[in-house]
Amino acid sequence: MAKEIGIRELKIHASEVVRAVKETRVRYVITQRGKPAALIIPLDAAPPQDEDPWERLLALRNELAHGSQSEKSILDILSEMRDD
């Protein structure tokens, strides 16, 4: 579960927030005027920079549309995509 922090509060406590993210792996939703605007997560939890998740999802859709059979279920594949 992510903690929420306003952007003004983040400006004041940025070093503590970064330390908490790094050491305890907590996630923060940054709010702007009470609405979610950004997410701070541990670096190793972010998707690889060279891989576009939408492209990966479209490729999976194309595989499924063309009847490509896999030993894994669709749920397994999507779960793996979320974990990456």
Burial level of 48, CB count in 10 A (0-12/13-18/19+)?
A: exposed
CA torsion sign, 66 to 68 to 73 to 77? Answer: negative
pLDDT score recorded for residue 7: 94
Q: Tell me: the pLDDT tens digits for 38-47?
A: 999 998 877 6
The domain in which residue 11 lies consists of 3-45
Provide, rounded to the nearest whole percent, the portion of the chain with pLDDT above 70.
Answer: 83
Phi, psi of 70 (to 5 degrees): -130, 150
> Which residues is 3 bridged to in the sheet?
28
Q: Do 40 and 61 belong together in one domain?
A: no
Any idea what DSSP says for residue 47? P
pTM of the model: 0.54
Instruction: State the average pLDDT for the chain.
Output: 83
Q: Tell me: the pLDDT tens digits for 34-84?
A: 999 999 999 887 766 676 778 878 887 887 777 655 677 777 777 777 765
pLDDT at 33 over 60: yes
Q: Do 57 and 39 belong together in one domain?
A: no
Q: Do 7 and 31 belong together in one domain?
A: yes
Q: Do 41 and 70 belong together in one domain?
A: no
Q: Do 12 and 40 belong together in one domain?
A: yes
The count of domains in the chain is: 2
